[in-house]
Amino acid sequence: MTRLMRCLRETRTGHNQQTGFSLVEVLVSVLITSIAVVGLIGMQGIAARNMQTARTRSIVAMQAESLATAMHGNRRFWSFGNAPANFRVAGTTITDPSGLLKTQSVRCTSETPAPTGECTPDNLASFDVQTWASSMAQLVPTYQAASECGTDETRSFTCALTITWVERYVRNAQTVANDSLATSGMQSFTLYIQP
């Protein structure tokens, strides 16, 4: 009989104890989860924008190296006294005081070679810069480039290629729920080339 009484007492106290979650506890946990999800969405937007920025910067660096390689491949043109002291490029427009780089270029490639004798160092340089400008205009539409080459005979011949472009980035402590929160600024990359 005492055993039965003990079981009944345990059953009664078990019914009096609360089991499960109250509505307030559920609401608090939903609120905390919602805040965490909103934070993750904001971080994902910032990460996506930063990835785009890194992509653009990588493209600019690779394109600058591409032009430097073309200059190295045509040393007869890109040497002291032959190459223009400076030139500028915006989109596909080339501004060159000497007029050598903006002339209609002969297609100096092995795929469709120019007739013998027509692919001179001047034509090759013109073709290289025009092809480079066209490629840059497609990859980074807001870019501008300027090349300043040394004019001092006592020093080794060096050109400084500076590329600038408009870059969109996210202001600190703000999410990128829409693009109006992003701002833009000019960025630049300079590569020193010794053809």
16 domain-assigned: no
What mean pLDDT comes out for the span 119-129?
A: 88
8 domain-assigned: no
Structurally, the chain folds into a number of domains equal to 1
More confident site: 41 or 151: 41
End-to-end CA distance of the chain: 105
* C-alpha distances out from residue 99 to 8, 20, 103, 125, 177, Å: 105, 83, 6, 12, 48
Domain that holds residue 36: 23-193
Distance between CA 123 and CA 115 in Å, rounded?
12
5 domain-assigned: no
98 domain-assigned: yes
17 domain-assigned: no
Flag whether pLDDT at 176 surpasses 50: no
- Strand order through the sheet with 182-193: 93-95, 86-90, 144-149, 159-170, 182-193
Flag whether pLDDT at 173 surpasses 50: no
What mean pLDDT comes out for the span 67-76?
A: 91
